[in-house]
A and B are shown apart, each in its own frame.
Chain A
């Protein structure tokens, strides 16, 4: 499969990348790890006239785990998996990364690409909703932060403006002893989720005092299951509370029928993933 022709740009600085983007309007695409875009280009579902490759922008790589955890957009999933700092502060990222594709893809695939692509099948967006992350983006007009919870508008439609580059993901450090889990049902390694759920919660005196639940690939966008999380607050994460949260999460799931199963089944799986993720997050919470 041969993609359509394009001009290739490999800028040496972020400012240069922004200038290149600005001069090509909507006829240019950013390539980070390329493992979403290149398959689309090979199928000619994407035919940009220009490609701007961010691989030389060292300023977009790296992990800084302070009270806000800042991860450069070009940080690969492999780097997330092997980061001791992240394992100690936001282990949900390692667990989610390991569910993405396969080892080869994770050496190339980036956090920024996964969250900015807008594909409802991508796994990181749900984790970002659960962690209440924000995305720092930069364009000609300057820099701004977009909460992940406001970022996703539809399939491949996001709040990223034309000419803007996502530069980093910023995550408020979860409380010490928080519980977390990413549960993903998939048919095989490398597949998108039939349904998946990210859960982050905290316990105090055996009772849940904060919770966030988000769903992958059961709608045009990742979904924050706010009502489902509310069902856990004040409970000891007993079976009744977990079942009610799963019921509420399942109620907002609106998957389409596809090769992964009929819509009803996929919504049901979303409920099952939520149950498992809450239970595991509860076991991990101190």
Chain B
């Protein structure tokens, strides 16, 4: 099967490559772009470990062909770090509130939490839990993940107020 030319903007960088249309986006990111932050967990669109931000939506990259993503703007966990190399506020809050143990779900969890807070900057605990219901964590029991996201929401709104 002939390969197709794929052009994406990933973490603010234009990237190009050749891929069979059947190549899953997660494989393209991990194997051709060496972005191994998004993980392959269940490979059946349940666990959310492969979540990336695509054109302003949280997407499970194991359930999208790279052909469908052609032309899209994508952010992976690698794109969250601040320009000076310091951690993004969500990463910082996950660290501070112990929102991770083994860390396998964390890239997807933070990528999803980012989009949730873009859409709802002041979520209730229930809204956070529903908002991350497509991301499974087998370590934390979610309690500290919810705390971390709530703390990030507070930090982000303070930062926004300070800027205004």
Residues of chain A at the chain B interface (Cβ within 8 Å): 1-8, 10, 31, 34-35, 38-39, 41-42, 51, 53, 55, 78, 101-105, 107-108, 189-190
Q: Which of B10-18, B40-48, B81-89 faces chain A? A: B40-48
Contact with A along B1-17 (1 / 0, CB 8 A): 10010000000000000
Nearest-neighbour CB distance to chain A for B27, whole angstroms, equals: 8
Q: Does B32 contact A (CB under 8 A)?
A: no
Query: B residues within 8 A CB of A51?
Result: 21, 65, 67
Q: Does B124 contact A (CB under 8 A)?
A: no
Residues of chain B at the chain A interface (Cβ within 8 Å): 1, 4, 20-22, 24, 43-46, 48, 51, 57-60, 63-65, 67-68, 70, 112, 116, 130-134
Query: B residues within 8 A CB of A39?
Result: 44-45, 63
**A3-B22, A6-B21, A107-B57 known; A55-B68 Cβ under 8 A:** yes
What are 16 sample pairs from A and B whose C-beta atoms fall under 8 A apart? A1-B43, A2-B22, A4-B22, A6-B21, A8-B4, A31-B68, A34-B64, A34-B65, A38-B64, A51-B21, A55-B68, A103-B112, A103-B131, A104-B48, A108-B63, A190-B133
Query: A residues within 8 A CB of B130?
Result: 103
Cβ–Cβ contact A104 & B4, under 8 A: no
Partner of A42, one of B1, B43, B51, B58: B43
Partner of B134, one of A7, A34, A55, A101: A101
Query: A residues within 8 A CB of B44?
Result: 39, 42
Give the residue name and chain of the B residue nearest to A76 (CB): B57
Query: B residues within 8 A CB of A6?
Result: 1, 21-22
Query: A residues within 8 A CB of B60?
Result: 104-105
CA distance A5 to B20 in the complex (A): 8
CA distance A20 to B44 in the complex (A): 29
**A104-B58, A190-B46 known; A38-B65 Cβ under 8 A:** yes
Cβ–Cβ contact A102 & B133, under 8 A: yes
Query: B residues within 8 A CB of A189?
Result: 133-134
- Contacts A39-B63, A104-B51, A105-B63 known; list 17 others, CB within 8 Å: A3-B22, A5-B21, A6-B1, A8-B65, A39-B45, A102-B48, A102-B133, A103-B58, A103-B112, A103-B130, A103-B133, A103-B134, A104-B48, A105-B60, A105-B134, A107-B58, A107-B59
CA distance A41 to B20 in the complex (A): 15
10 residue pairs, one from A and one from B, having the closest CB atoms: A102-B134, A8-B21, A107-B57, A5-B1, A8-B67, A104-B134, A189-B133, A104-B58, A104-B60, A3-B22
Cβ–Cβ contact B51 & A10, under 8 A: no
Partner of A53, one of B51, B57, B67: B67
Nearest-neighbour CB distance to chain A for B162, whole angstroms, equals: 29
Give the residue name and chain of the A residue nearest to B72 (CB): A55
Query: B residues within 8 A CB of A5?
Result: 1, 20-22
Cβ–Cβ contact B112 & A104, under 8 A: yes
CA distance A1 to B24 in the complex (A): 9
Nearest-neighbour CB distance to chain A for B3, whole angstroms, equals: 11
**A6-B22, A8-B4 known; A108-B67 Cβ under 8 A:** no
